[in-house]
Amino acid sequence: MSRNTKINLVLLFVVAALAVLPLALGLGDHKEEPFTGADAEAETAITELKPDYEPWFSPLYEPPSGEIESALFALQAALGAGVLAYYFGLRRGRRQGEQQALEREADSALAGAAGKSTAEQD
Amino acid sequence: MHIAEGFLPPAHAVAWGVASAPFVVHGVRSLTREVREHPESTLLLGASGAFTFVLSALKLPSVTGSCSHPTGTGLGAILFRPPIMAVLGTITLLFQALLLAHGGLTTLGANVFSMAIVGPWAGYAVYTLLRRSNAPLMVAVFSGAFVADLSTYCVTSVQLALAFPDPGSGFLGALGKFGSIFAVTQVPLAVSEGLLTVLVMRLLVQSSKGELTRLGVLLAKKQSRTETETEAVAR
């Protein structure tokens, strides 16, 4: 494994650790509902600060269940990951193609030069 | 950082919308210019938008015992400058508002202001400052992404505190309350975002040197040397 790949893997590992540690250490245990979204907590805080506040507009479309919502979130992540993977795959392929073309060129130039020199010797 | 649909009073919603609109319009212009002048950058633009798409869909647990998500706006701001990121961020927020009931149309202006305008600009400013003072590329990238992420959530806290000041302690009391919900939760996530942005930038340095040089992220060493050589010859 190259040094580059190792560093990349370490980066991913640290990100994973940062996500897992709060769960593993039980940092949500002091809450009634651990690990809810901060956005929802803000809504609760708003209703605490201003109990009579009524949202004056509701979403045009609301996912009918938590499952559908998580499916749509997964779709969002998958779309993004797909485009990113396409980009890096395309770049890698192009680079390899260019390299092969260069090698082939160098080979044929070498073969051409060799052919010429043998021809001169004759 | 998504303020839910209808959760900002109408006057605030309109004000943030008015504040955000010029940035987005300017961004659309920069984006069309970039695509027209450099059609080859379309792919990397797509990749930057995709990065925001992935990261803002990832809800991660944090030290406060609640979940939040990164923004992914630092990368695009560093690569293509903040105006273009304003557009990419707005597209992401619109997708979430329309399909996921996450954020909303009435709060779009406020959410765009925090995630697609202040975040990218703050991150870009830190990145540029560090680069000018000769910090290593990856240190500047990490700091830029970290600041873009965290500043977004600080702005959200300010927006909510302005709209819902504490009856007793006023704006500052409410800011403390919303800040502890958003900003503190966000610190480890901003670190994660910084690391992921560094990872993607490392992959880009390996795969897209030419593109990064054109965008000014990598310095054109060889080119500048030949330029000085030709200058010397000319003299």
List chain A domain ranges. 1-57, 64-122
Q: Is the pLDDT of residue B228 over 60?
A: no
Q: Which tokens hold the place of A55? A: 């949202």
Rg (CA), chain B: 19
**pLDDT category of residue B88 using cuts at 50, 70 and 90:** very high
CB of B104 less than 8 A from some CB of A? yes
Interface ipTM above 0.90: no
Q: Is the pLDDT of residue A60 over 90?
A: no
CB of B209 less than 8 A from some CB of A? no
Amino acid sitting at position A89: G
Residues 64-93 of B with CB under 8 A from A: 64-68
Residues 9-38 of A with CB under 8 A from B: 11-12, 14-15, 18-19, 22-23, 27-31, 34-38
Q: Which domains are delineated in chain B?
A: 10-234 (1.10.1760.20)
pLDDT at residue B234, rounded to an integer: 54
Residues 97-116 of A with CB under 8 A from B: none
CB of B180 less than 8 A from some CB of A? no
Decide if B138 contacts B198 (C-beta within 8 A): yes
How many percent of chain B have pLDDT more than 90? 89
Query: Any idea what DSSP says for residue A53?
Result: -
Whose CA is closest to A18, among B153, B132, B230, B146? B146
Q: Which tokens hold the place of A73? A: 């979130």
Among A12, A18, A29, most B C-beta atoms within 10 A, so best to mutate, is: A18
**How far is Cα A109 from Cα B177, in angstroms, rounded to an integer?**
72
Q: Is the pLDDT of residue B224 over 50?
A: no
Mean pLDDT of B223-235: 50
Contact A62 B101 (CB under 8 A): yes
Distance from CA of A9 to the nearest CA of B (A): 9
**How far is Cα B16 from Cα B21, in angstroms, rounded to an integer?**
9
Query: Any idea what DSSP says for residue A25?
Result: T
Comparing CB atoms, the residue among A43, A60, A83 nearest residue B98 is: A60
Which chain B residue has its CA at the smallest distance from A77's CA? B54
CB of B62 less than 8 A from some CB of A? yes
Contact A35 B66 (CB under 8 A): yes
Contact B101 A53 (CB under 8 A): no
pLDDT at residue A33, rounded to an integer: 84
Q: Is the pLDDT of residue A115 over 90?
A: no
Contact B53 A28 (CB under 8 A): no
Q: Is the pLDDT of residue A35 over 80?
A: yes
C-beta atoms surrounding B164 within 10 Å: 24
Q: Is the pLDDT of residue A84 over 90?
A: yes
> Which residues, at least 6 apart from B46, have a Cβ–Cβ distance to it below 8 Å?
A83, A87
Which chain A residue has its CA at the smallest distance from B111's CA? A39
pLDDT at residue B18, rounded to an integer: 97
pLDDT, tens only, A8-22 = 999 999 999 999 999
Q: Is the pLDDT of residue A122 over 60?
A: no
pLDDT at residue B225, rounded to an integer: 47
Amino acid sitting at position A36: T
CB of B14 less than 8 A from some CB of A? no
3-state SS class at A2: coil
Task: DSSP for chain B, please give it.
Answer: --PPTT-S-HHHHHHHHHHHHHHHHHHHHHHHHHHHH-GGGHHHHHHHHHHHHHHHH--EE-TTS-EE----HHHHHHHH-HHHHHHHHHHHHHHHHHHS-SS-STTHHHHIIIIIIIHHHHHHHHHHHHHHTT--HHHHHHHHHHHHHHHHHHHHHHHHHHHS-BTTTHHHHHHHHHHHHHHHHHHHHHHHHHHHHHHHHHHHHHH-HHHHHHTTSS--HHHHHHHHHHHHHH-
pLDDT, tens only, B90-145 = 999 999 999 998 999 999 999 999 999 999 999 999 999 999 999 999 999 999 99
Residues 117-176 of B with CB under 8 A from A: 156, 160, 164-167, 174
Decide if B76 contacts B107 (C-beta within 8 A): no
